[in-house]
Structures are given as C-alpha cells and as structure tokens.
Structure 1
Amino acid sequence: MSSATSFSELTTLQVGGPITRLVTATTQRDLVDLATAAWSSDDPWLALGGGSNLLVGDDGFDGTVIRVATKGIEVLPRDGGTDDIARLRVQAGEVWDDLVAWTVEHGYSGLEALSGIPGSVGAAPVQNIGAYGQELASTLVAIEFLDEGAERPRRMTAEELELGYRTSVLKQGLRGIVVSVELELHDTASELAVLGEAPGQPIAYAQLAGALHAQLGDRVPIARVRETVLALRASKGMVLDPDDLDSVSAGSFFTNPIVTERTARAMPADAPRWYLEPDEPDEVTPLATIASGTPLDAFLALQAELEASDLETPAAAAGPGALVKLSAAWLIEHSGISRGFALPGSRAAISSKHTLALTNRGGASADELAQLARFVQQRVQAEFGIVLRPEPVLVGVEL
C-alpha cells in the first residue's frame, strides 16, 4: 500500500495527481479480496492496469486504486475442436505485448498485428483494441469478470461484451474488474512441416502489406509480421521508448468518427471515408471506391499514407443506409493543426510523428493535455462540424 504514489508514475502519459490508497493484486485471490474490501467502503475505487489508456486529473484520486498485476498464460485442453485451434486463458495483469510475443514464439496466430500496443491484457477488451487489420474481437472468446459487489467472477462471452469500434459494455459503464481473458488462436504448428515457418492470418491492412512487400490476403510468417508492426509503430512513436518523447502519450487520443452518409457527403472530396455495414459495424469499405469509381489500387495507396489512423481493411460493398467512418488524423491535420503543434507556453504537444497522439514533452500537467485536446476538438468542429471523441478513459478531467 502507498499514500505517496501519483498517477504520473503509473501512466504512459506521465500525468495525474496523488492516489489516496494504492493496493496491488498479484494473484486472482488477491484481486477478489482487494476488490471486495474496496467495495465495502463508500469511497470511490478504480482498477488500474498498464496505465496506457488513462488520463487522470492533477487533483488525483481520493479513493482506492486497485493495481492489477496478476500473471499467467494457460493453454486450455482441446475440447473436441480442430487441431489447428488453440485456446488460451490469460490473467488480466499480463503485459499485452508480452502476451503477443509469447503467442508468436509458440506459433499461435491471431494477435501478431496487435504487437506493440501498450497496456495490460485486462484492459484490451474494454475498448476492443485493434490495429493493422486485426481486432481483439476476432480472437476473444470470453472473459472472467468480477462485477462490483460480487464475491466471485462470472464468465462473460464475447457476444455479451457487445464489442464494437474501440468500445464494449465495459467501457460504456458496466462496473467491475476483468479478471482474465480467453482467446481462440490459430495453431500453426501443424503447418510447419509444409511451410517451413509459422504463417500468420491473411494480411488485411494496406500499410502493413506494403511494409512486408506482400499483397493483401497474403499469409506471412507471424514473427515477420510482429517485427514489421513493431517497426511501423516505433516510426510513429507508438512503442514506449524512454528516449522518444513522442511515446509519452496514451496512443491515439481520438477515435475515428462515425457519421451519417449525409454528413460524409458534405466533407471535402479528398477526405478519406469508409462505409460501415449496418449489421457489421467493424467491416468497412472505401466510400470513394463505391461512389466515384476510384480504382482500388489508388485507394490502397492513399490508405498507406494515413499514418496511425488504424482504419480497417476494405470490405465488401456496403448496402444502402450504411454509416461512414472518417479519419480523425486527416480531420486534425486539415483543420490546421500540424504535427508538433503546441499551445503557447504549454508542455503538451501533438506528436511530431502523427496528429492522433497528444504527448507530454516533459513536466506537462493533465490540465495542459486537456486544454490541447479541447483545442483540437474545437478546431475540427469549427472546420468540419465533426466532434472528435477521446479514446482514453478520463478520470477527473473533462473535455
């Protein structure tokens, strides 16, 4: 327990005030016991994993912070399934990228494009993490979840979590703590004798395909995919690095907005946009390809230039009435905010590598980051009429 620790020591943004009471759970039993004790009080509580998707105010948190540091990766027995499917149960406190490295080392495919994402495993389903054509939703089977006030965890299936674009019922207000996650991955071991090395899932993101010198749909060894994704993320300051100020961030600070087709039609002609299937909200198709006959090759070239936008792969043609996803990065840059921008006298700045990350350039306060985030929102709204929504969880901060 500690009364002197502050969120600035426990979050990747390195901001946030003091914590009144910090407790750390290293086992599942610890986690249940510490949560039960916290819930027996009327004081507020907060679960903390890797601190990579959190912006806490400068006043700190007057309550109990439960730091989830449980460890363990378990390969579950095969239950009559096919030989090429493996199920894992992973404790919530495992570091996400350590898990990805472990799966690649053991020849399990399905997470390799999610390499380098900071944070803990337990935080991953909260916002349905995704990048470079993969999302957690495609491999998540279930979680163990400890509801606030409950004495033991319950199993929640992926369907019950209502996973969507960077959201879930957990992010929308279901109170409790993720205890573990259950994943279903492709076991490539049976293919090694034929292919000579473990092949990953079909490449589903143009920028990644280009970096791999491959085509969309190609299967590339998972170790090579991981190395390439890590290099791509590092080039954007999206891999934690003590020597890179651009990595002192919460990753992408704003989600790509989803708007009506009517709103999208009012955007400039060169604004990237993607149709969303009404019944498949995470599958997207380039609007330009549908509406104006733009060749797919031209679209893919444009997509490859959209740094850090993390938009998904083009899908089948969308039906009438589909919503449209826009690129937050494009909106920010074209509202007049360039890479490296900072408000006068502020120690918070837009990343020098891409416009989706807000960074702490050294000694910034949570208030300075919030001021910058509000300025970005105001500029984009004034220029395009679009309100950008923050991706990190905000505690004691309002935008």
Structure 2
Amino acid sequence: MTSADTPGPAEPADPVVRALLDVDGISAAPDATLAELTTLRIGGRPRALLECATAEAVIAAVRELDAAQRPVLVLGGGSNLVVAGGDLDLVVVAVRNQDLQYSDAAGDAAAAGEHLIVRAGAGLNWDDLVADTVERGYGGLECLSGIPGSVGATPVQNVGAYGVEVAQVLHRVRWYDRATGRDEWVTPDALELAYRTSVLKSTDRAVVLEVEFRLTPAGRSEPIRYAELAGRLGVEPGERADAATVRRTVLELRRGKGMVLDDDDNDTWSAGSFFTNPVIRDEVLPEVRNRVAKKLGDGPAGQMPAFAAPGGTKLSAGWLIERAGFGKGYPSSSSPARLSTKHTLALTNRGAATADDVIALARDVRDGVREAFGVELHPEPVWIGCSI
C-alpha cells in the first residue's frame, strides 16, 4: 500500500465503508461506541458507524455492506438493545432520516370526521412525532407518548402502552427488502404484527425507511382501554378524551415509573420494559394460581392480574417479579445493574454496568420467577453480541 492509499487518521480502514462516504447523505462518526447510542448506555466499539440522513442513503449503505458480506447493525434510537462490550465485528448503519409530512387532505378529513395520514422518516425521534401530532390537534398516538426510540422501530416490535398498540394506528411501512433489493411500501398485514413482535423483529429481512400512521383530526384520543389511565382521566374504559390531556397524563404516569429518559436519572437508563407480559395456556392458569397461593396465600392468588389474550391468558410480568421477591431497586444500591427503584420491569444501568451485569440480573429475575410460579419470562430487547 502506498502512502496515498493509506487511510487518514479519521477515515475508516474498511474500503467498503470509505467508498460509502462518497454517497450523498452518508457520513462517518469516528470512534463512536454503542454505549453512547443506546438508552441502556451499554455497548462496545463497532468497526465503523455510518450516519445516514436520507432513506436513499440507508439503502445504499445496507446494500453495499450486504454485498460485501459485512456484518451490519441497523440502528434507530437504540432504545431496545442490549449490546456486548469490547470491539464489535460489525458496521453500524444509523438511520437518521427525519422527514415529516401530513396528508394534503387534512382539512377535508377534519371536515368529514375521517382519518388523515402522517408520514415520518424512520430516524425521527418517536416522541417528537407524537408531540407534533398532538400539538396540531390530531389524535391517535397520544397513549404512546414518552416511549424512547425512533419511528422506524415502532412497527418492528409493535410498540404499545396504556392500551394502544402501533398495529391499531399503522397505515403503511416503506422498507428495503434486503433479500430482493426492493424498496417498497407494504400494508400492516405484511408485518404479521402481534404482541411486541413482527416479521422484522430479531431478523435481517428488511430495513424500515418510513412509516405512515392514521390520525383523527378532531383531536380526540384512541379509546381509553387502560384502567389506570382511565381513572386518572376520569373517563370510563372505552371512552375517548382530549388527546393533549391524554398525552400529559401518560407522561406523568411514565415519569412516575422512571420510563421517561432523563440524562441525570440513572433510574431511566434502561431498555424500557425488559420482559414482556407472559401469555400462558388457559389450562396452566390454575396451577400458577396454586403456586402463588402456596407462596403468598389465597388472597394474592385470587388478585393476580390475568387477562384473556390470543393464545391463552396474559399475566403481569411486573406483578410476578415483585411477588417472586425482586423488589424495586433489587439487588442493592451498590450494584452496577439493578431494577429501577420506580418500576420492577426496568433493568437499569447505575452508571458503570456492563452487558454481563445486565445479563446476570436478567437471568436472576427470570429464573426466580420460573422457580416461584412456573412461568417463563421472555426479554423484550434485541441482543447484539450477547444473550440471556
């Protein structure tokens, strides 16, 4: 290699990555670590990190890296990841397109009481989108306020909170199919959306580029189905409310549980709800109640939250975790990784935690719930270079 061919100090060593820097909308972030880019504040250093400001830049980066057989991590807001430390054998493609467009028929839709469509770039901060829709007087996304991450991640895991899931308001998704090389818009049925999952979760099938959602121009919320939220709002379950009021109330509830990101509060340094609410077969429910009764008594067994769900009965992961003996702040104030002091479903980084610390805590909680009640908890985050 001649001196002219030698990469400069700020240039990536990988020739494929260097060539991508000539593409409009692509830039490199030298010396970046995943700890700087994930809400859990954990993760090592990738081979390179490419910031992609447009959908076309995302496509170009993923296409060329796939063709060169480079391991790729497509990164949005970093809110649902547990990443190993050290040097990571992968190139990060950071999706940063943030375009926002409302349908031209907004005025006509409002007059007719119909839905309108908002189209958002996958790299747009999710709560910024929610805030903008509510400020414009549109309803539909308000119950999903305060959820960290990017727009592109929401259909991947069918994000949901306070009785609303993305599946209820999703109109279309634009994705880049990595197998076929097609850039196309698809309807929700193509995603096979289910509880906190889709065909895109934990796979490399496609990259989300843009997302369209249905909104209600009248400024009324989605039906309020979550009992705690309905009580705070003073409405009956199933009723609608003012979208702005719902957003404020949801944010208050989330802050009370440490579920709104705050750089100065380690209780919010998490991947959100770490375990999904388990769904068990209906015939297993009596045995679970029996085990709760043996451990806690008949009263708690009868009061255990249980709801009908596709495939059986849905239980509360947070309720099971606490009743298995894992209280808020577990295991101790000196631990680098521990449960939030506000919400037992959040595993938090107290400032110096590693992936190994988080994994050890997650296994402790998972195994403890299984031993106590015979229920298997499943983690919600995506694992990069490590596993539970």
TM-score (norm: length of structure 2): 0.85
Equivalent residue for 1:42?
A: 69
Looking at structure 1, the residues matched to 93 and 350 of structure 2 have their Cα atoms a distance apart, in angstroms, of: 28
Deviates more, 1:39-48 or 1:229-238: 39-48
Corresponding residue pairs, total:
346
1:18-29 mapped onto 2 (5 Å cutoff)? 18-29=45-56
CA apart distance, 1:66: 0.3
The answer (yes or no) to whether the contact 1:7–1:60 under 8 Å persists in 2 is no
The answer (yes or no) to whether the contact 1:95–1:119 under 8 Å persists in 2 is yes
The answer (yes or no) to whether the contact 1:16–1:60 under 8 Å persists in 2 is no
1:75 corresponds to 2:105? no
Looking at structure 2, the residues matched to 178 and 199 of structure 1 have their Cα atoms a distance apart, in angstroms, of: 28
Equivalent residue for 1:175?
A: 205
1:148 corresponds to 2:148? no
Looking at structure 1, the residues matched to 204 and 305 of structure 2 have their Cα atoms a distance apart, in angstroms, of: 34
1:53 corresponds to 2:80? yes
CA apart distance, 1:172: 5.0
1:255 corresponds to 2:272? no
SS at match of 1:107: coil
CA apart distance, 1:173: 2.5
Equivalent residue for 2:6?
A: none
Equivalent residue for 1:104?
A: 134
Deviates more, 1:138-147 or 1:340-349: 340-349
Looking at structure 2, the residues matched to 163 and 334 of structure 1 have their Cα atoms a distance apart, in angstroms, of: 31
Equivalent residue for 1:295?
A: none
Looking at structure 1, the residues matched to 326 and 53 of structure 2 have their Cα atoms a distance apart, in angstroms, of: 43
CA apart distance, 1:133: 1.1
Equivalent residue for 2:383?
A: 394
Looking at structure 2, the residues matched to 260 and 371 of structure 1 have their Cα atoms a distance apart, in angstroms, of: 28
Looking at structure 2, the residues matched to 377 and 10 of structure 1 have their Cα atoms a distance apart, in angstroms, of: 26
SS at match of 1:108: coil
| Structure 1 residues 60 and 84: CA distance shift in structure 2, 3 A | farther
| Structure 1 residues 102 and 160: CA distance shift in structure 2, 3 A | same
Letter matched to residue 90 of structure 1: A
Looking at structure 2, the residues matched to 323 and 10 of structure 1 have their Cα atoms a distance apart, in angstroms, of: 37
TM-score (norm: length of structure 1): 0.83
1:84 corresponds to 2:114? yes
The answer (yes or no) to whether the contact 2:335–2:350 under 8 Å persists in 1 is no
CA apart distance, 1:345: 6.0
Equivalent residue for 1:193?
A: none
Letter matched to residue 226 of structure 1: R
Identity %, equivalent residues: 45
Could you give the per-residue CA deviations for residues 272-309 of structure 1, whole angstroms, max 9, x where no partner exists?
11112xxxx3xxxxxxxxxxxxxxxxxxxxxxxxxxxx
Looking at structure 2, the residues matched to 68 and 223 of structure 1 have their Cα atoms a distance apart, in angstroms, of: 29
Equivalent residue for 1:205?
A: 226
Equivalent residue for 2:90?
A: 63
| Structure 1 residues 32 and 168: CA distance shift in structure 2, 3 A | same
The answer (yes or no) to whether the contact 2:288–2:374 under 8 Å persists in 1 is no
Could you give the per-residue CA deviations for residues 163-195 of structure 1, whole angstroms, max 9, x where no partner exists?
11000011152522100111111111xxxxxxx
Equivalent residue for 1:313?
A: none
More helix, by proportion = 2
Query: For structure 2, which runs of at least 5 residues remain unmatched after alignment?
Result: 1-27, 290-300
Aligned partner (choices 356, 371, 380) of residue 382 of structure 1: 371
Looking at structure 1, the residues matched to 334 and 104 of structure 2 have their Cα atoms a distance apart, in angstroms, of: 58
| Structure 1 residues 343 and 379: CA distance shift in structure 2, 3 A | farther
The answer (yes or no) to whether the contact 1:90–1:182 under 8 Å persists in 2 is yes
Letter matched to residue 101 of structure 2: E
Letter matched to residue 263 of structure 1: V
Looking at structure 2, the residues matched to 134 and 2 of structure 1 have their Cα atoms a distance apart, in angstroms, of: 36
Query: For structure 1, which runs of at least 5 residues remain unmatched after alignment?
Result: 189-197, 282-321
Could you give the per-residue CA deviations for residues 247-296 of structure 1, whole angstroms, max 9, x where no partner exists?
000000000011101111112323211112xxxx3xxxxxxxxxxxxxxx
SS at match of 1:74: strand
Larger Rg: 2
Looking at structure 2, the residues matched to 368 and 147 of structure 1 have their Cα atoms a distance apart, in angstroms, of: 35
Could you give the per-residue CA deviations for residues 1-34 of structure 1, whole angstroms, max 9, x where no partner exists?
2452111000000011111110011112211111
